[in-house]
Structure 1
């Protein structure tokens, strides 16, 4: 490291400010308590303060900022969903993503790459055409392309996939992008902190007081907090929190694993997804191949990683890209995916007055971070569900009015 840079780093004339303020004590009460300091919780706090003027907010995190699914995903951003509710919701999110770096004055490494959902069967091609038509109807840039276009975008791909599942075409979604997940959490956290929101790490929620069907307070490992509004944004830990208020949901938890390779020279610009091979892949700004697969086939509240996952994913990767046989896997990890029966989230008000849910994201919560913050902050501030989330409310399961997003899953979940 150059001496001039070291001297600048050690200079007291140019101190680097902390990303956020550390708070050793709670206030006696808060207007809103948010459980979970991941992207969704921090974004909700940020927009509560910035757009609704509600600054007396506490964000509680059992671990550390972004230590849950926000830091355990593959950072893919897209809006090529299947249902009208999903397409409009994620399209709003993509529009927010495009200006987020300027909004935060922080480089999020947001990079538009284009997203190809590969089709290996005639039925998959029919689904791609269906999705393309729904997308176009709502002004989202998606189209069905043939194998030649896939090969042109990713020249290193084997279109026959080793003879196992030849590629017949793909759904091409030009706005498909990636971003640095840690920076997204830091940006929302710093913005919320600058507006007066308190962020408390290493603070576990032990219980929620509900009196007469209304939220009255939160018990934590560091003391008691009085509040009339609680937003739960804890992804795979959702059932533990909903149990505290006696609320039943159809959420079930599965591990979802991913891994990255050693850094390689840039060769893959687009994002590629194969539902038949259960693979999705992109290349990061550092040259790492970021790879994921389908859910682990068992329910488990844990973030352990397995050899079986690496072996299975590596085999499918080599079917698509045989030249990667000598590439090294550098690390792997797992997150807890909170799945719902219709593969759509659960958002908004609940039967418990003052208790709000942002959950059921399964495998696509990261890309929804900005729009979740916008819509949940509106819902909490006004005690009214935002128009964009009316198809995602909990009572849809009671009325059998499901929002079927399973057809828009990137892999076979």
Structure 2
């Protein structure tokens, strides 16, 4: 087998197989243009082309494929939220992740290892009981565990008995897990491309031509195209892109940083998070410890990493696992979170009849990738907002029908 592989690699007439075709010229018109070549945009393209037969679709990406927040997250997947609307939504996302490798014929390395969220106070434990009951009501696997059970789930954890950060219990979410972020994006992209969807990298949206209450054309750095429908899924650039269309969005942008250590022998077999320490950890399949936390405390559109966040994350990690104190860091990075006032995304209709929104994700975008793509595709195909998306409408900010998920993140903001 090694000799056969070597011969194949040294062949002069070797033509590499391209999962994603080279960027083509822009057509004059598309039935659907998706702004944003990250996980959400590519998922919508996949579901549009496979389940609705809409294949005259263009995905426009200012940079390179899935190079924005999709490449800059920590891959956590979960459904342990607070409100009925969110639990229902993210529960379906988990179900779609469970079948994603089969759906895409591409190994996305989904690992359903569970998530343990720690309680350092009686007040936190009380809130965990509420979240557990809400989750059970919707059929998720979630329960409150005591200190003994916490230690059984994660034996290497520092319980800090009698200390400032003593662990009094936890919220154990068996459905939690991780998937390989670039595999998810490339799997969706490859499937969509096979059905004729065009992926246009290095193509920046510069403006919109609007006729009445509809977008008639999109002006890009590579030309102007007329369009039937538009899906906006531009991650940290959502506020900017919406302004180009004349839409005011209640979004503020904050950097969200994370870092990863050198590889270690496997010891952390679940996801561990502490809102009290603003830190969460997981161990990758390569042995690296991925460490993240809450978003930066100031508004900024930047992917620059900073020393103060590195120190904060390191402090939390060493508090939970003291033996990590001499472990070396390999790299640190940042994404741009588009936060809404109620820490819940905006999906569905906009003031323009053919312009559909997928934004305001904050720190929850990756875990929602398949369910957001599925139902935005359904919305566009039927020209009617899917029922599951209705609670997340832009109009909720006018009627004050807010969905408060501020406390549901793994590391509080």
Describe the SS at the equivalent of 1:34.
Answer: strand
Instruction: Find out whether 1:342 has 2:339 as its counterpart.
Output: no
Which runs of 4 or more aligned residues in structure 1 lie more than 4 Å from their structure 2 counterparts after TM superposition?
1-4, 12-16
- Matching of residues 251-290 of structure 1 within 5 Å: 251-290=251-290
Equivalent-residue separation in structure 2 for 1:311 and 1:270 (angstroms): 23
Instruction: Please tell me whether residue 110 in structure 1 is matched to residue 110 in structure 2.
Output: yes
Q: Any gaps of 5 or more consecutive residues in structure 1?
A: none
Query: 1:231 Cα shift?
Result: 0.6
* 1:357-384 Cα distance to aligned partner (Å, 9 max, x none): 1001100110100001101101111111
Q: CA deviation at 1:238?
A: 0.6
Q: In the aligned structure 2, how far is the partner of 1:159 from the partner of 1:210?
A: 59
1:219-258 superposed matches below 5 A: 219-258=219-258
Aligned-pair distance for 1:229?
A: 1.1
Q: CA deviation at 1:10?
A: 3.2
Residue 218 (structure 1) aligned with residue 254 (structure 2): no
* SS of aligned partner of 1:299: coil
- Partner SS state of residue 151, structure 1: helix
2:295 alignment partner in structure 1 = 295
Distance 2:144 2:296 in 1: 30
- Counterpart secondary structure, 2:256: strand
Aligned CA distance change for structure 1 residues 343 and 121 (closer, same or farther; 3 Å): same
Gaps of 5+ in 2: none
**C-alpha separation in 1, matches of 2:93 and 2:208:** 31
Distance in 2 separating the partners of 1:329 and 1:278 = 19
Deviation at residue 148 of structure 1 after TM alignment = 1.1
Query: Is this contact kept in 2: 1:113–1:270, CA < 8 A?
Result: yes
**Separation of aligned partners in 1, 2:23 and 2:150:** 51
1:8 Cα deviation from its structure 2 partner: 2.8
Partners of 2:23 and 2:201 within 8 A in 1: no
Q: Which residue number corresponds to residue 355 of structure 1?
A: 355
TM-score normalised to structure 1 length: 0.98
Aligned residues: 413
After the TM superposition, which of the residue ranges 154-163 and 313-322 deviates more from structure 2? Answer: 154-163
CA change 1:279–1:108 in 2 (3 A) is same
1:58 and 1:198 in contact (8 A); partners too: yes
CA contact (8 A) 2:255 2:301 kept: yes
In the TM superposition, residue 9 of structure 1 has moved relative to its aligned partner by: 2.6
What is the match of residue 407 of structure 1?
407
Describe the superposition over 1:26-73 as per-residue Cα deviations: whole angstroms up to 9, x where unpaired: 111000000000000000010000111100000000001110000100
Give the deviation of 1:397 after TM superposition.
0.3
- CA 1:402–1:23 in structure 2 vs 1: closer, same or farther (change >3 Å)? same
Indicate if the aligned counterparts of 1:161 and 1:320 stay in contact, CA closer than 8 A.
no
Give the corresponding residue for 2:152: 152
The separation in 2 between residues aligned to 1:407 and 1:259, in whole angstroms, is 23
The aligned residue for residue 179 of structure 1 is: 179
Deviations 1:379-412 (A, max 9, x none): 1111111111111000000000001111211111
2:24 and 2:198 in contact (8 A); partners too = no
Which piece of structure 1 moves more, 381-390 or 199-208?
A: 381-390
Does residue 65 of structure 1 match 2:51? no
| TM superposition shift of 1:212 | 1.1
Aligned counterparts of 1:266 and 1:209: Cα–Cα separation in 2: 54
Instruction: Measure, in 1, the Cα distance between the counterparts of 2:254 and 2:23.
Output: 34
Matched residue of 1:30: which SS?
A: strand
User: Hey, what's the Cα distance between the residues in 2 that align with 1:77 and 1:161?
Assistant: 30
* C-alpha distance in structure 1 between counterparts of 2:137 and 2:266, whole Å: 35
- Matching of residue 17 in structure 1 with residue 17 in structure 2: yes
User: Contact 1:260/1:331 (CA < 8 Å) preserved in 2?
Assistant: yes
**CA 1:100–1:241: 2 relative to 1, 3 Å:** same
Query: Alpha-carbon deviations, 1:136-193, whole Å to 9, x = none?
Result: 0111110000111111121111111892311111110101111110000000000000
In 1, Cα distance between the equivalents of 2:381 and 2:354? 11
CA contact (8 A) 1:160 1:166 kept: yes
CA deviation profile, 1:330-376 (whole Å, cap 9, x unmatched): 00100000101111100001111111110011001101000011011
